[in-house]
Amino acid sequence: MPDWIIHEDKYEEADGVLLGNRYLVGNGYVGIRGTLEEYKADKLPAINLAGIYDRVGDNWREPINLPNACYSYLRVDGDIYTLPEREPVSHRMELSYRHGLFSRTTTWHTARGNITLSTERFASMANVHIIGMKFAITADFHADVELLTGIDTDVWDINGPHLENKVMEDENGSLRVIATTHEQHKTVVVCESVKVNYAGESKTTVKDDKILHRLFFVTKPGEKYTAEKFVTIFTSNDGPDPASKAVSLNRLSAERGYEALKDEHVAVWEELWSHSEVELTGDEQAETALNYSLYHLHSIAPRHTDSLSIPARGLSGQTYKGAVFWDTEMFMLDFFLMTDPKTARILMKYRIDTLDGAMKKAASYGYDGAFYAWESQEGGYDACSDYNVTDVFTGRPMRTFFKDKQIHISAAIVYGICRYAEWTGDNSILDHNGVKTVIECAKFYYSALLKHVSGRDIYELHDVIGPDEYHERVNNNGYTNRMAKFTFESAVKVIKNAMDEGTLPKEYDGLKLVEEFTDAAEKIYIPQPSAEPGHVGVIPQFDGYFDKEDASLSQVRDRIINEKEYWGGAYGIASDTQIIKQADVVTWLNLFSREHDREELRTNWEYYEPRTEHGSSLSAGMYAMLACKIGEPDKAYPFFIKSASADLRGGGKEWAGLIYIGGTHPAAAGAAYMTAVEGFAGITIENGKPVCHPSLPKSIKAMKFKIFYQGKEYLVNIEGDKGTIEGL
């Protein structure tokens, strides 16, 4: 069995940014990058806060990074010992992804002997406002040691600074920083205190944007000296007087002690794993990668609220503006539906609660209904810029149309709401506002339809961008049209049900909407498999796709001049070719595979995969799942491993033009789960009950996991091509 530990046994300064993502700990309220305690802003440490965004000047709006309350370092015999400034004798860092515990142990050689610093920290899953830390220091000589630990207010920002009016104060040994955000003047409070197990002098210093405890002691050779640190965080989003709340909880935390807080934190993790762990017999690499991926999903789930979603880069920093994309509904939702339905509801409630923002966006484009934000922040505000990419050759911003033309986002919201209701049996999600959300999304597509434009009795959607973002402003993207059809069909069901129950909001003419949406669902153009030589059985991704140059992926790569250049847009190297960024038609076929025979699915998988750059971490999972559905689990396996290992291996795209887009990949984690459970195990619903149709790759001999379905939990056991599902 895996030991649920990942580790590094040496120090490489260049790996710091990658390891910050890989070793992240979080609790849905904050995410703490896995960087070393002594790191300053230039090495991208961050305590990234969920749910509060800020904009400075004309820069992009982004989430805020809190004052760094993990900041700490050693002074020994008057000399500072930090990495990378002092080369270590040894260095190890670990993450227990079973329990969300980050630790490091570093030994330095001094003029008089060796000294070792060990630390451990966690973001409490039992109380999301608490961060716990522990220090242990040993030396093999009588060392004059000073442990400096406190709060660094000089934080890493991509487009900041976001915190103003910073006040640093010492209140009877509790250090406190109070600040306000630049744009909306929200209050942020970070408080910390320290307990030690030794007698020694202590001072408080305020200097260089830092407020620090200075703890002095002299070591005895071989004796361990420990300190416990308690950090509490509150904002004005948490209610009135966050400063008093932070101080009160900090004192209570110190009274209870580090080990008690840690035990509570670990107990919550064990409860989560009791419903979500996936055992894979015969393939320890896959088992480790998959459960590590699920760790990241658990770490960023917003269980502390009743309406919030998960950003595309989780809580690993300010990249992608901390915004919520279609990633949540299409790639992460299934994991929570099957293991933690309460969190799944929170995610979908966020979309319902941001309906007004989606309706305002639609109106701004001259559409009816709800056009959801491509990059959603508070209230459904669309943070997506008109200029998302910088031309590496001219240094000028490039006009992109992600915000304007990726209209498939509204269908993702309807898909998520309907899937939640169907899977959990909780139809209360379709209350007054839930029904409105589905209807308004259908109204949006209805207002966007072009009717009879080709002289045929069909409706079309023009000037859109599908999941493949390399080809902008195309007509009749197959995925988009099929998802619009799904939205119309879902709206009809929802309206009829609401009419039967007498709960249809009074502002709607149900009969008229049913007539309009039924007509739209029947007549919207859905691309069909081609009969042309060379493309027989292949569904064109959009009108004119087969007219593009059919260059190979290697040919297009050979045209790269700058490794950071963007492949799409008006002048990208892929724009006039059939090379696509990520699964597009394959995503459509995976979602609606029952509408297509296996040969049709296979033909399209085999055509599109060699033409897919997989320039997004979302792509591999869709190819993996469709490979399972065509009976090719061994073809699915490398794509599954790619998804599950997205944050273990690194090496993914970290730049879009000159813009840094690095961070964790929760959508890939969700896709890995779907591949394992819905692909390899073949979990599906038949006659109102979960069933399994296993199709395991050669390396996996057996699987064992639990799922929830409509309020009941089931244990699934797979051995070879046989499987059982037992109600618990």
How does pLDDT run across 417-430, given as a tens digit for each residue?
999 999 999 999 99
- The CA–CA distances, whole Å, from 235 to 97, 349, 392, 409, 714 equal 28, 22, 39, 31, 39
Residue 517: other Cβ atoms inside 10 A = 24
Q: What DSSP line would sit under 451-468, residue for residue?
A: ESTTSSS-EE--SB--S-
pLDDT in tens, 501-545: 999 999 999 999 999 999 999 999 999 999 999 999 999 999 999
| Distance of alpha carbon 589 from alpha carbon 592, whole angstroms | 5
Does 654 have pLDDT greater than 80? Answer: no
Q: In what order do the strands lie in the sheet with 712-719?
A: 279-281, 702-709, 712-719, 722-727
pLDDT tens for 119-174 read 999 999 999 999 999 999 999 999 999 999 999 999 999 999 999 999 999 988 89
Taken in order 330, 331, 336, 338, the sign of the CA dihedral is positive
Q: Which helix (H) or strand (E) holds 282?
A: none
The secondary structure of 307-331 as a DSSP string is S----TTTTS-SGGGG-B-THIIII
Average predicted confidence (pLDDT) for the chain: 96
Measuring CA to CA, which residue among 385, 383, 355 is closest to residue 371?
A: 355
Radius of gyration of the chain (CA): 27
Active site residues: 469
68, HSE (Cβ side, Cα atoms, 13 Å): 27
The helix (run of H) or strand (run of E) holding residue 123 is: strand 113-123
**What's the rounded mean pLDDT across residues 387-398?**
88
Q: Which residues contact 690 (CB under 8 A, 6 or more apart)?
A: 683, 684, 707, 709, 714, 716, 725
Q: Which pLDDT belongs to residue 361? A: 98
50-59, 162-171, 359-368, 452-461 — which is least confidently predicted? 452-461
Q: Does domain 5-274 have CATH number 3.40.50.970?
A: no
In the chain, which segments carry CATH 2.70.98.40?
5-274
- Check: CB of residue 328 under 8 Å from CB of residue 337: no
Question: Can you give the pLDDT at residue 455?
Answer: 80
pLDDT band at 655 (very low <50, low <70, confident <90, very high): low
Structure tokens at 385: 């810029």
In this prediction, residue 659 carries a pLDDT of: 64
Task: Please check whether residue 77 is in contact with residue 144, taking contact to mean a CB–CB distance below 8 angstroms.
Answer: yes
- Nearest-10 crossing angle of helices 619-629, 598-608: 150
Residues 594, 678: Cα–Cα separation, whole Å: 14
Q: Give the per-residue pLDDT at 563.
A: 87
* pLDDT tops 70 at residue 660: no
Q: Mean of the pLDDT values across residues 552-568?
A: 94
pLDDT (0 to 100) of residue 559: 96
pTM reported for the whole predicted model: 0.96
Cα(236)–Cα(724) distance, rounded to whole angstroms?
A: 49
Q: Return the pLDDT at 653.
A: 64
Burial class, 4, CB count within 10 angstroms (exposed 0-12 / middle 13-18 / buried 19+): middle
* Least confident residue range of 2-6, 210-214, 489-493, 572-576: 2-6
Which tokens sit at 228? 């416990």
pLDDT of res. 657: 57
DSSP string for residues in 594-633:
GGS-HHHHHHHHHHHGGGB---STTHHHHHHHHHHHTT-H
* Residue 656 clears pLDDT 70, i.e. is over it: no
End-to-end CA distance of the chain: 24
DSSP characters for 124-185?
-SSSTTEEEEEEEEEESS--EEEEEEEEE-----SS---EEEEEEEEETTEEEEEEEETTT-
Nearest of 502, 330, 341 to residue 408 by alpha carbon: 330
Axis-axis angle for helices 432-448, 510-523 (nearest 10): 50
pLDDT class of 453 with cuts at 50, 70, 90: confident
What is the pLDDT, as a whole number, of residue 304? Answer: 97
Does the pLDDT at position 603 exceed 90?
yes
Token pair belonging to 71: 């900041």
The string of pLDDT tens digits covering residues 231-268 is: 999 999 999 999 999 999 999 999 999 999 999 999 99
Interval 293-318 mean pLDDT: 97
The pLDDT, as a whole number, for residue 360 is 98
pLDDT at 452: 87
Buried b (16+ CB within 10 A) or exposed e, 556-567: beeeeeeeebbb
Would you state the pLDDT for residue 651?
64
pLDDT at 200: 84
pLDDT tens figures, 404-416: 999 999 999 999 9
**CATH class of the domain defined by 277-727:** mainly alpha
Query: What are the start and end residues of each CATH 1.50.10.10 domain in the chain?
Result: 277-727
Nearest to 324 by CA among 365, 295, 357, 360: 357
pLDDT exceeds cutoff 70 at 652: no
Chain centre to alpha carbon of residue 513: 36
pLDDT at 456: 83
